[in-house]
Amino acid sequence: MRRTPAAAATYFAIVFSSAFMLGVVRTLIVTPRTGDVVAVLIETPIVLFISWLVAGWTARRFSIPAKARPRLAMGFTAFALLMVAETALSLLLFDCPLAQQFAAYATPAGAIGLLGQIVFGFIPLLAAGRR
């Protein structure tokens, strides 16, 4: 179980970095042309596909067994890291109050994004059954 936090941190870091870059593209290029909801609907499957690939690679790299408990621990830890990072960025970089960040989840685009983040947390478990 000591490998699980390292696997979760690696999974989070790679996917978060990729999603951050895609988020910049979404915000600057796609959203002005399509609107928030369509832009998030375009971005979310791409991020989840990257998550799927990275979860499988990370689990193999860190020898995380294809069993529910270690895979859920990996996903839950990565999800927690994601929520902390997103909150920190929102507060520190974008000066967005916490209440405003939570209110954004109530919008259609925010709800789609949150659902994608929850799925991100379950992907290590779901990827375990692919072999």
Whole-number Å distance between alpha carbons of 72 and 19 = 21
The pLDDT, as a whole number, for residue 93 is 87
Q: Does residue 91 contact residue 100 with C-beta atoms inside 8 Å?
A: no
Q: Where exactly are the structural domains of the chain?
A: 3-128
The pLDDT, as a whole number, for residue 130 is 60
Give the tokens for residue 90: 């929102």
User: Can you give the pLDDT of all 131 residues of the chain as single tens digits?
Assistant: 689 999 999 999 999 999 999 999 999 999 999 999 999 999 999 999 999 999 999 999 999 999 999 999 999 999 999 999 999 999 998 888 999 989 999 999 999 999 999 999 999 999 986 65
Residue type, 57: W
